[in-house]
Amino acid sequence: MDSDISFILNHLGEDRSQYFNAIAPPLIQTSNFALNTVDELRNAFQNEMDGYIYSRGLNPTVDILRKKLAALDGAEDCLLFNSGIAAIYAGVLANVKAGDHILSIKRPYSWVQHLFDKILPRFGIVTTYIDGTNIENFERGILPNTTFIYLESPNSWFFDLQDITAVAELARAEGIVTMIDNSHATPLNQRPIEMGIDLVMQTATKYIGGHSDTLGGVLCGSAAMMRKIFTSEYLCVGSGMQPFNAWLLLRGLRTFTARLEKINASTLEMWMFLKNHPLVEDVLFPLDPDFPQYELAKKQMKTCPGLVSFFLKLDTVDAIENFCNRLKHIKMAVSWGGYESLLLPKCASFPRNEFNPENKEHRMCRLYIGLEEPPFLQEDINQALRNL
């Protein structure tokens, strides 16, 4: 498998003889492509996915990245979008119609919930949220008009897992399309296509790019499903990835495995540091033996790099905010997957006067561990907590 990954990252999809034997693929920054005959133009109009006509659809730079990311996921094909939510939007819209029912894990990514709660109900599409940690909740939640199941495993705050194989088998027996957000685990650590999932999404913004300087969304699946989405939602909405973004992501992809190995090793150190810290009440990390779904995490994932959530033993919002504000090197920001370590406090998501120290969630922080050395990060956390 390691040799396969090396081939994918460094060679797959790259025909260097076509561009002067350059090591780095060129940025084909063009909006459209010239055709030589009327017949060629006619054929391009009839099947835009089989050639180049307009960069809103296919583009040579984007195609190199498409081939690599499809191969990493073990999928037949792949479409690339300007952001992760654009990929989810297209994948959902392509597979639901008025009157359908969606089954989703509870507390999905905020913009997914906005899609399910605010946009789709306008067209008579209803979503039910369930605790996805129990397969029986999926069995009970399926209705006669259920056509789509949405998963995040692990999700990005509490790291709830779903039994991916079991859900996929259940959905397939009922003729239901499944989609999973695999951004946290990445295809290096979890392969949902092999477990039977129809659509696998990841945000290329995070680990694929790795430098916090571009956005991107990846949607992988069967060739038939990708063609279905391409000829409708992809071309109509116009949310396909731009060539320059793809070029940046190709650059990031070269160091994908090296960065993930470093981040994974550092995550294990930071998890133990936080677990033993006197001002930390509890830690959430899927590969912690105390994590409720530890056995499932070991079964489904090779590793789980980058994210650790923890609960502070601080009983005022002032103390928590002081801790966050006093960090010198760990930045406060959303997202993850770049070279820089980040902290996201839960208390920033609601008004200060609603803080309740009895609510454990209100004392929650999520740490993303980047490429800095763990002692450097540990000292920053210690100095920020000192005298609080």
Q: Is the pLDDT of residue 2 over 80?
A: no
- pLDDT tens profile 203-256: 999 999 999 999 999 999 999 999 999 999 999 999 999 999 999 999 999 999
| pLDDT for 9 | 92
Give the span between the Cα atoms of 39 and 57, in whole angstroms: 20
Q: Return the H-helix or E-strand segment holding 104.
A: strand 101-105
The DSSP call for residue 242 is P
Rounded average pLDDT over 334-353: 96
pLDDT at 3: 66
Tens of pLDDT along 107-149? 999 999 999 999 999 999 999 999 999 999 999 999 999 999 9
* pLDDT(387) > 90: no
pLDDT of residue 262: 98
pLDDT at 388: 81
Percent of the chain having pLDDT more than 90? 96
Whether the pLDDT of residue 293 is over 90: the answer is yes
| Contact present, 181 and 109 (Cβ < 8 Å) | yes
What is the per-residue DSSP string for 128-140?
A: EEE-TTSHHHHHH
Q: What is the pLDDT of residue 157?
A: 94
334: left (phi over 0), alpha (psi -120 to 50) or beta: beta
Convert the pLDDT of each residue in 44-84 to its tens digit: 999 999 999 999 999 999 999 999 999 999 999 999 999 99
Closest CA to 102 of 177, 165, 168: 177
Average of per-residue pLDDT across 22-44: 94
pTM of this structure = 0.95
Environment class of 277 (CB within 10 Å of its CB; exposed 0-12, middle 13-18, buried 19+): middle
CA angle 104, 229, 254 (to 5 degrees): 85
Region 324-346 average pLDDT: 97
pLDDT digits (tens, 9 = 90+) for 138-192: 999 999 999 999 999 999 999 999 999 999 999 999 999 999 999 999 999 999 9
Read off the pLDDT of residues 318-334 as tens digits, 9 standing for 90 and up.
Answer: 999 999 999 999 999 99
Mean pLDDT of the chain: 96
> Which residues does residue 203 pair with via DSSP β-bridges, in sequence order?
217
Do the Cβ atoms of 107 and 155 come closer than 8 Å? yes
Indicate left, alpha or beta for 124 from its phi (over 0: left) and psi (-120 to 50: alpha): left
Indicate whether 41 pLDDT > 70.
yes
User: CB-based burial of residue 47 (10 Å sphere; 0-12 exposed, 13-18 middle, 19+ buried)?
Assistant: exposed
pLDDT at 1 over 70: no
